[in-house]
Amino acid sequence: MNKFKNKYLLIAFIYLGALLLASGCATQGKSAGLGAAIGAGTGALIGHIADPGKNGEYRTRNVILGTAVGAMAGTIVGDLSYKELDSQKREAFLKGKASAPQARDGAMPTLKNPKVESRWVEGRISGNKYIEGHYEYIISEPARWEE
């Protein structure tokens, strides 16, 4: 029974560590490092669970191999996921840049200010509450591009 408790504790620590490492992954190195750490932990766990042979003679070998293979696979997956996210960001930037207003004859169009009217509303009593006097601002004509 104690053997199973240790396995679950190991799994909990691995996932807790992965969650802590996952916060703030913004660079390619961090993404690859996080992938390596998660892969190494998962590989070690799988190696520990794999067939240990008679009297556990292969357990250490399985854990070491699982850690190495998991770290390599995690590094590759982390690096590829970073590159995919980076390319999506780049595409979104270029799409936004292409949709910006284009300059005509070397000059960008100007934005005409909106027309805003203000009016004073006297204080009043509404039910059991008092609403203090205040200004209300009404946009009578929204902002628009000048031609």
Instruction: Tell me the three-class secondary structure of the chain, residue by residue.
Output: CHHHHHHHHHHHHHHHHHHHHHCCCCCHHHHHHHHHHHHHHHHHHHHHHCCCCHHHCCHHHHHHHHHHHHHHHHHHHHHHHHHHHHHHHHHHHHHHHHCCCCCECCECCCEECCEEEEEEECCEEECCEEECCEEEEEEEECCEECC
In a domain, residue 147? The reply is no
29 and 93, same domain (yes or no) = yes
In a domain, residue 19? The reply is yes
Total of domains in the chain: 2
In a domain, residue 6? The reply is yes
28 and 93, same domain (yes or no) = yes
Q: Which domain holds residue 26?
A: 2-98
Q: Is the pTM higher than 0.85?
A: no
Give the pLDDT score at 27.
75
Average pLDDT, 10 consecutive residues per value, the chain (147 residues)? 58 63 62 83 83 80 86 86 86 87 71 93 94 94 87
